Amino acid sequence: MNDTASEYHGIKSVPYPRLSLDEFLTWGADSIIRADVPAVIDVLPPAEPGFHQAAVLEKLGDATVALVRKDRSKENETRAEVTKIPLRDYFEKEPYKSNRDGTYRIVSNIKNYSDTINDLLGFDATKIFNYQAPLNLANIWVNYGGMRSRNHFDDLENFNIQLEGRKRFVVMPPGFKNYYIRSALRGYANTSKSVRVDNADLKRYPRLAVALSQRRDIVLEPGQMLYLPMGWWHQVDAVDQLNININFWLSDPKMFRRPLMLADSLYKAAFRKVNGLYNLQPEKSPMEGVK
Ligand SMILES: O=C(O)CCC(=O)C(=O)O
C-alpha cells in the first residue's frame, strides 16, 4: 500500500495498492478491473528524463494528432477547439512550446499505431489491454506545466501510463450526489462545478467533504501506470514542465450496473454526434493495413 499523504481542510487521503509489473501480469488486467479500486503499478524501468520524449519524437513525430485548445481562465470553460498537427510541432513550434497556462495539449487516439505503442512501452500492450476492440481506445497525452483537468469521471476503464514528468491525480469514488454536477443537458454530467478539489469551497459544496474523505491522492511518476476504474472522479494536475502519457480506455459491462452513468453516457454520445464534437476518433496511420 502507498499514500502520497495529503490533508485538504484537515481531511486525510486514503492509501492505495501498489503492484509490481510481475504482480500485475499474474493477476491480469481483467482481475484488476473486477477489483474496482484505484491502484498504481510499476510498469517501466527507470529512465533518464527526456528519454521517452526523444523516443516519442522519433517514432511518432510525423504522426498527425489532435491538438486541443481550451480557454481555462474562466470557471465555466468554453468547449475545446480541436485541430490536427504533426506531433513534432507541439514540441518544436510556437505557440505550443512556450505554452505554460494549459491552453494547448495533445489528446489523440493512436490505436492504429499498435507497433509503435509496443516499441515505446517495451511490451505487447495489444495483448494485455485488448484496446483494439471496437469501443476501446489507446491515446497519447502531451502537455506542458500549468495544465489542470478539472474534476470529472469517464465511462471507461483507464490504464494510464506516465512516460515523462509527474501528474497529481486526486481520485474519488463514483457517485453524483456529492459532486455537484454541471449541466447534464449540455453533456457535462461527468464534470463537477467545484473547479478545484485540492482547495475546495466547502461552504458552497459541503457534500464534497464526504468524497474528499475517500480520496486517493496519487502523484504518478514516470514509469508508473494508474488503474483508474470507470466512474471514479479525478482531478489531474501537471506537476512538471512536460508530461507525456499513454492511456488505454476500455469498455466494460460494469457500465450496465450503473444506470445513471449509462444514461449519461448514451446521452453524451448522441449529443456529441448531433453537435459534431470531437470524440477521439482514431488517427490514421500511414502503416495501417501494410503488412
Ligand atoms: O492527464 C490529464 O490531464 C487528464 C487525464 C484523464 O482525465 C484521464 O486519464 O482520464
CATH number at residue 201: 2.60.120.650
**pLDDT for the residue numbered 4:** 56
Where residue 143 falls (left for φ over 0; alpha for ψ -120 to 50; beta otherwise) is: beta
Cell numbers of 19, please?
A: 503492484
**pLDDT for the residue numbered 113:** 98
Q: Which atom of ligand 1 is nearest the CA belonging to 149? A: 3
Range list of H helices, 46-107: 51-60, 87-92
Domain range enclosing 143: 7-47+124-270
Q: How close is the Cα of 236 to the center of ligand 1, in Å?
A: 6
3-state secondary structure of 12: strand
Residue 184 lies in a domain: yes
**pLDDT for the residue numbered 291:** 46
**pLDDT for the residue numbered 5:** 55
Determine if ligand 1 sits within 6 Å of the CB of residue 236. yes
Q: How close is the Cα of 148 to the center of ligand 1, in Å?
A: 9
Task: Provide the domain count of the chain.
Answer: 1
Residue 118 lies in a domain: no
Residue 109 lies in a domain: no
Q: Which atom of ligand 1 is nearest the CA belonging to 234? A: 7
How many CB atoms are closer than 10 A to CB 287? 12
**pLDDT for the residue numbered 3:** 47
Determine if ligand 1 sits within 6 Å of the CB of residue 155. no
Rounded alpha-carbon distances, angstroms, from residue 240 to 92, 168, 181, 219: 18, 10, 29, 11
Determine if ligand 1 sits within 6 Å of the CB of residue 32. no
Q: How close is the Cα of 6 to the center of ligand 1, in Å?
A: 20
Ligand 1, residues 70, 239, 245: which to mutate, most atoms within 8 A of Cβ? 245
Residue 116 lies in a domain: no
Q: By alpha-carbon position, which residue is closest to atom 5 of ligand 1?
A: 236
Q: Which atom of ligand 1 is nearest the CA belonging to 237? A: 3
User: What pairing do the DSSP bridges indicate for beta strands 224-228 and 81-86?
Assistant: unpaired
3-state secondary structure of 94: coil
Q: Do 138 and 109 touch, CB atoms closer than 8 A?
A: yes
Q: For the chain, state the CA radius of gyration.
A: 18
Residue 57 lies in a domain: no
Half-sphere exposure of 270 (CA within 13 A, CB side): 8
Q: How close is the Cα of 99 to the center of ligand 1, in Å?
A: 18
Determine if ligand 1 sits within 6 Å of the CB of residue 149. yes
**pLDDT for the residue numbered 183:** 77
Does pTM top 0.75 for this prediction? Answer: yes
Ligand 1, residues 158, 227, 236, 246: which to mutate, most atoms within 8 A of Cβ? 236
Question: What is the DSSP secondary-structure string of 215-263?
Answer: -EEEEEPTTEEEEE-TT-EEEEEE-SSEEEEEEEEE--GGGGG-HHHHH
**pLDDT for the residue numbered 73:** 67
Cell numbers of 140, please?
A: 497519447
**pLDDT for the residue numbered 220:** 98
Block residue for cell numbers 491480469: 28
Return the DSSP state at 15: P
Cell numbers of 291, please?
A: 503488412
Residue 230 lies in a domain: yes
Residue 62 lies in a domain: no
Rounded alpha-carbon distances, angstroms, from residue 241 to 5, 28, 38, 205: 23, 33, 25, 31
Return the DSSP state at 93: S
Determine if ligand 1 sits within 6 Å of the CB of residue 139. no
**pLDDT for the residue numbered 288:** 64
Residue 198 lies in a domain: yes
- Tell me the mean pLDDT per 10 residues along the chain, length 291: 66 96 96 98 96 98 96 70 97 93 95 98 96 97 93 96 98 94 78 84 93 96 98 96 97 94 91 88 78 46
